[in-house]
Amino acid sequence: MSKPIEAGVEAQPDVDAGDFVHSIRVGWADCDPARIAYTGRIPYFALEAIDAWWQAHVGEDWFTMNVDRDLGTPFVHMSIDFSSPVTPRHRLDCVVRLIRLGESSIRFSVRGHQAGTLCFKGEFVEVFVAAAAHRKIAAPAEIRAKIAPLVRGQAG
Domains and their CATH numbers in the chain: 2-150 (3.10.129.10)
Which ranges of the chain would DSSP assign to H, the alpha helix? Answer: 41-58, 62-69, 141-147
The stretch 29-51 carries a mean pLDDT of: 96
Residue 8: which pLDDT band, with cuts at 50, 70 and 90? very low
- What pLDDT is attached to residue 14? 65
Give 16's pLDDT tier (boundaries 50, 70, 90): confident
Q: What's the predicted TM-score (pTM) here?
A: 0.89
8 A C-beta contact, residue 105 and residue 128? yes
How much is the pLDDT for 3? 47
Q: What is the mean pLDDT of residues 62-83?
A: 97
Which amino acid, one-letter code, is at 6? E
pLDDT, tens digit, 9 for 90 and up, residues 98-132? 999 999 999 999 999 999 999 999 999 999 999 99
Amino acid letter, residue 52: A
pLDDT: is 15 or 34 the higher one? 34
Distances from the Cα of 111 to the Cαs of 12, 66, 70, 85, 126, in angstroms?
10, 26, 30, 13, 17
